[in-house]
Amino acid sequence: MRKALLLLVVLSAFVAGCESKYKDPDPQAMGYDYYPLEIGQYRVYNVEETFYFNETPSNLNYQLRERIDTSFQDQTGQLVYKIIRSKRSDASIDWLDDSVMTVSKSPTMVMLTKDNTRYVKMVFPVKNGLEFVGDLYNTRQVEGGAGGKLRNGKQVYTFQNVGDNYEVSGNSYSNTATVLQNFYSINTILDDRFEVYAEGIGLVHRVYKRINYKSNTHDDGYSITDGHEREEILIEHGKL
C-alpha cells in the first residue's frame, strides 16, 4: 500500500511537471498582440508616394484600407486570413478593391503572402535586438552596396524600441515595436525602411525610402536621380 501511494505521488509530480513545461506561452510576453488577426478588423492609412525617374518626380496621394475578410485552413492545417486591400483618393470616394493578400500567424512568426511571394513580417517573441530575415522564404536577394547587415545575401531586420510610446501625425500609441528593415545613407544612396506596430492595433506607420542621388557640380550639392518614397500613416481602425 505504501509503495502504491509513493508511486502515485511520483506520477502526479511528473504529470504536473509536464503540464508546467508544455503550457501555452503568455501572449503578451510573446508580443502576439502587435499583429492582431480577426475577421472584420480593418485599418485605414493615408499614403503619400513619390516615384523618381530621370530626376522627375511623380506624386500620388490616396487612402489605403486593409480589411480581414475571411479565414481558411491551408493544406498543413494552418489558419490563414484573407486580407482585401482597397484604395480611394479621399474620404468622399467609395472604396475600390485593389489586391488580395493572405496572412498566417504561428507561435513563432507572421507570414504574409502577396503576389505569390512570401514575407516574414514578424517573429516571436518580440524583443529588442532580436533579428530575423524578412525574405527568408522567397528568392529576393539584396543588391550590392545596399548597406545594413546581410545573411546569405538577404537583409536582416531588427526589433527596436519594443514597449515604447510612439507618436505620428498627432496620434500617440502607448506600446509599440519597431521593425528596422534598413537604414543606410551615403552621399549617393538613401535606404530608409521601417515599420511600427502598436499592441492590439497592428501596423500604424510604415516608411519606405530608396533614393539614388547625383552630385551637382555647379553648387556642390546633390539631386535625386531615381527612386521611390512611400509613407503610410494609420488614420482609422476598428471592426466591421
User: Span 210-233, mean pLDDT?
Assistant: 85
Q: Is residue 3 part of a domain?
A: no
Q: Is residue 18 part of a domain?
A: no
Asked if the bond preceding 125 is cis, omega within 30° of 0, the reply is yes
Question: Does the pLDDT value for residue 7 go beyond 60?
Answer: no
Question: Does the pLDDT value for residue 169 go beyond 90?
Answer: yes
Tens-place pLDDT, residues 90-109: 999 999 999 999 999 999 99
Q: Which three cell numbers stand for residue 17?
A: 511537471
Q: Is residue 9 part of a domain?
A: no
Q: Is residue 82 part of a domain?
A: yes
Q: Is residue 79 part of a domain?
A: yes
Query: Which pLDDT belongs to residue 22?
Result: 53
Q: Is residue 16 part of a domain?
A: no
Q: Is residue 218 part of a domain?
A: yes
Q: How many Å separate Cα 174 from the centre of its chain? A: 18
Tens-place pLDDT, residues 11-44: 455 445 555 455 667 888 999 999 999 999 999 9
φ and ψ at residue 32, rounded to 5 degrees: -60, -30
Q: Please report, as a single letter, which amino acid is at residue 198.
A: A
Q: Is residue 148 part of a domain?
A: yes
**For residue 93, what are the domain limits?**
25-52+59-239
Q: For 115-201, where are the E strands, in sequence order?
A: 117-123, 131-133, 150-151, 154-168, 171-185, 189-198
- How many domains is the chain partitioned into structurally? 1
pTM of the model: 0.87
